[in-house]
Amino acid sequence: ETGVTQSPTHLIKTRGQQVTLRCSSQSGHNTVSWYQQALGQGPQFIFQYYREEENGRGNFPPRFSGLQFPNYSSELNVNALELDDSALYLCASSLVTGGPQETQYFGPGTRLLVL
Protein backbone atom coordinates (compact mmCIF):
# COMPACT_ATOMS: atom_id res chain seq x y z
CA GLU A 1 0.00 0.00 0.00
CA THR A 2 1.46 3.35 -1.09
CA GLY A 3 1.23 6.29 1.29
CA VAL A 4 0.51 9.91 0.46
CA THR A 5 3.29 11.56 -1.52
CA GLN A 6 3.86 15.22 -2.33
CA SER A 7 6.10 17.10 -4.71
CA PRO A 8 8.24 19.05 -4.64
CA THR A 9 9.60 18.80 -1.10
CA HIS A 10 10.88 22.37 -1.09
CA LEU A 11 10.21 25.38 -3.28
CA ILE A 12 11.33 28.99 -3.40
CA LYS A 13 9.28 31.60 -5.25
CA THR A 14 9.12 35.37 -5.38
CA ARG A 15 6.18 37.54 -4.54
CA GLY A 16 3.60 37.74 -7.35
CA GLN A 17 4.55 34.42 -8.91
CA GLN A 18 2.32 31.38 -9.23
CA VAL A 19 2.99 27.92 -7.82
CA THR A 20 1.59 24.43 -8.31
CA LEU A 21 1.96 21.75 -5.67
CA ARG A 22 1.17 18.10 -6.31
CA CYS A 23 -0.19 15.28 -4.22
CA SER A 24 -0.72 11.58 -4.86
CA SER A 25 -3.29 10.08 -2.56
CA GLN A 26 -2.90 6.84 -0.69
CA SER A 27 -3.91 3.78 -2.66
CA GLY A 28 -7.68 3.24 -2.48
CA HIS A 29 -8.48 6.75 -1.26
CA ASN A 30 -10.87 9.01 -3.18
CA THR A 31 -10.69 12.29 -1.26
CA VAL A 32 -7.89 14.81 -0.93
CA SER A 33 -7.65 17.71 1.50
CA TRP A 34 -5.09 20.50 1.52
CA TYR A 35 -3.80 22.36 4.54
CA GLN A 36 -1.48 25.29 5.12
CA GLN A 37 0.75 25.21 8.18
CA ALA A 38 2.63 28.35 9.13
CA LEU A 39 5.65 28.02 11.37
CA GLY A 40 4.62 27.26 14.95
CA GLN A 41 0.93 26.98 14.09
CA GLY A 42 -1.48 24.13 13.54
CA PRO A 43 -2.54 23.14 10.03
CA GLN A 44 -5.30 25.30 8.54
CA PHE A 45 -7.83 23.69 6.21
CA ILE A 46 -7.75 25.10 2.67
CA PHE A 47 -10.17 22.84 0.80
CA GLN A 48 -11.13 19.27 0.07
CA TYR A 49 -11.76 17.48 -3.22
CA TYR A 50 -14.03 14.50 -3.67
CA ARG A 51 -14.74 12.94 -7.05
CA GLU A 52 -12.95 15.79 -8.79
CA GLU A 53 -15.15 18.46 -7.19
CA GLU A 54 -14.48 20.87 -4.35
CA ASN A 55 -16.21 19.57 -1.23
CA GLY A 56 -15.71 22.27 1.35
CA ARG A 57 -13.39 25.24 1.69
CA GLY A 58 -11.72 27.03 4.56
CA ASN A 59 -11.10 30.74 4.92
CA PHE A 60 -8.72 31.15 1.99
CA PRO A 61 -9.01 33.62 -0.92
CA PRO A 62 -9.87 32.51 -4.48
CA ARG A 63 -6.22 32.73 -5.55
CA PHE A 64 -5.92 29.37 -3.80
CA SER A 65 -7.42 26.84 -6.19
CA GLY A 66 -7.19 23.14 -6.77
CA LEU A 67 -7.85 20.20 -8.98
CA GLN A 68 -8.46 16.54 -8.48
CA PHE A 69 -7.80 14.10 -11.29
CA PRO A 70 -9.57 10.83 -12.19
CA ASN A 71 -6.79 8.87 -10.45
CA TYR A 72 -7.57 10.93 -7.31
CA SER A 73 -4.25 12.78 -7.34
CA SER A 74 -4.52 16.49 -6.76
CA GLU A 75 -2.93 19.87 -7.35
CA LEU A 76 -2.93 23.01 -5.27
CA ASN A 77 -2.41 26.22 -7.21
CA VAL A 78 -1.64 29.54 -5.62
CA ASN A 79 -1.62 32.69 -7.74
CA ALA A 80 -0.12 36.09 -6.96
CA LEU A 81 2.04 34.74 -4.16
CA GLU A 82 2.40 36.85 -1.03
CA LEU A 83 5.07 36.71 1.62
CA ASP A 84 2.54 35.29 4.10
CA ASP A 85 2.02 32.29 1.84
CA SER A 86 5.34 30.94 3.07
CA ALA A 87 4.38 27.76 4.91
CA LEU A 88 4.34 23.99 4.91
CA TYR A 89 1.57 22.78 2.59
CA LEU A 90 0.12 19.46 3.57
CA CYS A 91 -1.99 17.07 1.57
CA ALA A 92 -4.15 14.45 3.24
CA SER A 93 -6.15 11.67 1.64
CA SER A 94 -9.05 9.64 2.92
CA LEU A 95 -11.69 7.23 1.73
CA VAL A 96 -15.19 8.69 1.79
CA THR A 97 -18.03 6.21 1.45
CA GLY A 98 -20.85 8.25 2.94
CA GLY A 99 -20.58 6.48 6.26
CA PRO A 100 -18.86 7.49 9.51
CA GLN A 101 -15.96 9.91 9.51
CA GLU A 102 -12.97 8.67 7.58
CA THR A 103 -9.43 9.09 8.83
CA GLN A 104 -7.19 11.46 6.90
CA TYR A 105 -3.62 10.38 6.23
CA PHE A 106 -1.08 13.10 5.61
CA GLY A 107 1.83 13.39 3.24
CA PRO A 108 5.24 14.80 4.23
CA GLY A 109 4.38 18.28 2.96
CA THR A 110 5.89 20.85 0.61
CA ARG A 111 7.84 23.68 2.21
CA LEU A 112 7.17 26.89 0.25
CA LEU A 113 9.23 30.01 0.79
CA VAL A 114 8.11 33.26 -0.82
CA LEU A 115 10.74 35.98 -1.08
Partner 1 sequence: LAKTTQPISMDSYEGQEVNITCSHNNIATNDYITWYQQFPSQGPRFIIQGYKTKVTNEVASLFIPADRKSSTLSLPRVSLSDTAVYYCLVGDMVYGGSQGNLIFGKGTKLSVKP
Contact residues: partner 1, CB under 8 A: 4, 31, 33, 35, 41-45, 48, 50, 55-59, 88, 90, 92, 94, 96, 98-109, 111
- Cβ of residue 98: shortest distance to partner 1, in angstroms? 6
Report the distance separating Cα 72 and Cα 93, nearest Å: 9
- Of the two residues 3 and 16, which places its CB atom closer to partner 1 in the complex? 3
- Cβ of residue 69: shortest distance to partner 1, in angstroms? 18
**18-55 per-residue burial string, b: 16 or more CB within 10 A, e: under 16:** ebebbbbbbeebbbbbbbbeeeeeebeebbbbbeeeee
Report the distance separating Cα 108 and Cα 6, nearest Å: 7
- Cβ of residue 111: shortest distance to partner 1, in angstroms? 7
Number of C-alpha atoms within 13 angstroms, CB side, residue 50?
11
- Of the two residues 78 and 89, which places its CB atom closer to partner 1 in the complex? 89
- Cβ of residue 36: shortest distance to partner 1, in angstroms? 11
